[in-house]
Amino acid sequence: MRINGTAALITGGASGLGAATAARLAEAGATVYALDLQASIDKAEAVKGVTYVAADVTDPGSVEAAVATASGSAAPLRIVVNCAGIGTAGRILSKKGPHDLDVFRKVVEVNLIGTVNVMRLAAVAIAQTETLENEQRGVVVNTASIAAFDGQIGQAAYSASKAGIAGLTLPAARDLAQQGIRVMTIAPGIVDTPMLAGVTEEFRAGLAEGIPFPKRLARPEEYAQLAQSIIEHDYLNGETIRMDGSLRMAPR
């Protein structure tokens, strides 16, 4: 599918993976709408071709409004990339007691339910566009994590939410096949995003050393590159791709 001349909605688009993807798709000729919380948008650096839309992925009303904005442009909405997500640490049972259920629920709500919320509402708009070659209309790229498969100690909430996204991929692709919408998922390993901004260089080097090859952290731009490849490759559908340098996470 050609990116030039289409509209794209990127969640978590003000920083990290989402920002890199928004910039790359805009450069490729898409009209990009970066959906994020207002506080994140306020900190974002403006990117040519990217319009920032304040919305909470867990709120149906604000997502519906964001989708309406993206689909109301001159270009048809055909691309959705879900990058919005949060992560917390907590064991099922620790010295402090059982896992905080509200914290667990929040992580699942943002990461998994937020992804489903955006996908379901965007699918309505994409399904109304004219068909392209082979009856296709668009593509949704979701973001899981290698923690979906190799969850570490303290990652129960995060791993569960990301495993849900990986498990969602095939049935969602099958559900949306009639509408000509593909669904793919990227499962990144350790990416050098703002979430790692506060760690020391020594800690960062330790993370890189554990990666078989290449021995470095992934870059947000590499996620964006893979997302673009998925969008342009019409026969990729219903699968989760690991982007991790062959890393398999140890228990801790």
Structure-model confidence comparison of residues 200 and 108, the more confident one? 108
Residue 60 lies in a domain: yes
Residue 219 lies in domain: 7-243
Check if 223 is active-site.
no
Q: What percent of the chain has pLDDT over 90?
A: 92
- Region 147-175: mean pLDDT is 97
For 119-151, write each residue's pLDDT tens digit. Answer: 999 999 999 999 999 999 999 999 999 999 999
Options 52, 158, 223, 235, the catalytic residue:
158
Q: Domain for residue 2, yes or no?
A: no
Report pLDDT for 199. 73
CA distance 42 to 194: 15
Assigned token pair, 207: 């993370």
Question: Is residue 1 included in any domain, yes or no?
Answer: no
Tell me the pLDDT band of 207, cut-offs 50, 70 and 90: confident
The rounded distance, in Å, linking the Cα atoms of 115 and 11 is 9
> How far is the C-alpha of 186 from the C-alpha of 222, rounded, in Å?
11
Q: What is the pLDDT of residue 228?
A: 98
pLDDT digits (tens, 9 = 90+) for 86-114: 999 999 999 999 999 999 999 999 999 99
Q: What is the Cα 109 distance to its own chain's centre?
A: 14
The total of structural domains in the chain comes to 1
End-to-end distance of the chain based on CA atoms, in angstroms? 41
Structural domain includes residue 236:
yes
Q: Rounded CA gap, 224 and 196, in Å?
A: 18
Per-residue confidence band for 194, with pLDDT thresholds at 50, 70 and 90: confident
Predicted confidence (pLDDT) at residue 157 exceeds the cutoff of 90: yes
pLDDT tops 90 at residue 201: no
Considering the chain, what is the average pLDDT of its residues? 96
At CA 111, angle to CA 34 and CA 49, rounded to 5?
10
| Res. 177: pLDDT tops 90 | yes
Distance of CA 97 to the CA centre of its chain: 32
CATH number reported for the structural domain that contains residue 178 in this entry: 3.40.50.720
pTM (2 decimals)? 0.96
What are the pLDDT digits (tens) for 24-53?
999 999 999 999 999 999 999 999 999 999
At 117, the pLDDT band (50, 70, 90 cuts) reads very high
Does the residue 199 lie in any domain?
yes
Tell me which amino acid residue 224 is.
A
* pLDDT higher than threshold 90 for residue 193: no
Q: Do the beta carbons of residue 128 and residue 121 sit within 8 Å?
A: no
Residue 235 has a pLDDT of: 98
- Please write down the HEC assignment for all residues of 4-65: CCCEEEEECCCCHHHHHHHHHHHHCCCEEEEEECHHHHHHCCCCCCEEEEECCCCCHHHHHH
Rounded to whole angstroms, the Cα distance separating 41 from 52 reads 7
- Confidence check: pLDDT of 205 > 90: no
In the chain, the DSSP E strands lie at 7-11, 31-36, 50-54, 77-82, 93-94, 97-98, 138-143, 181-188, 240-243
Percent of the chain at pLDDT > 70 equals 99
Assigned domain for 19 exists = yes
Look at residue 252 and tell me if it is in a domain.
no
Residue 250 lies in a domain: no
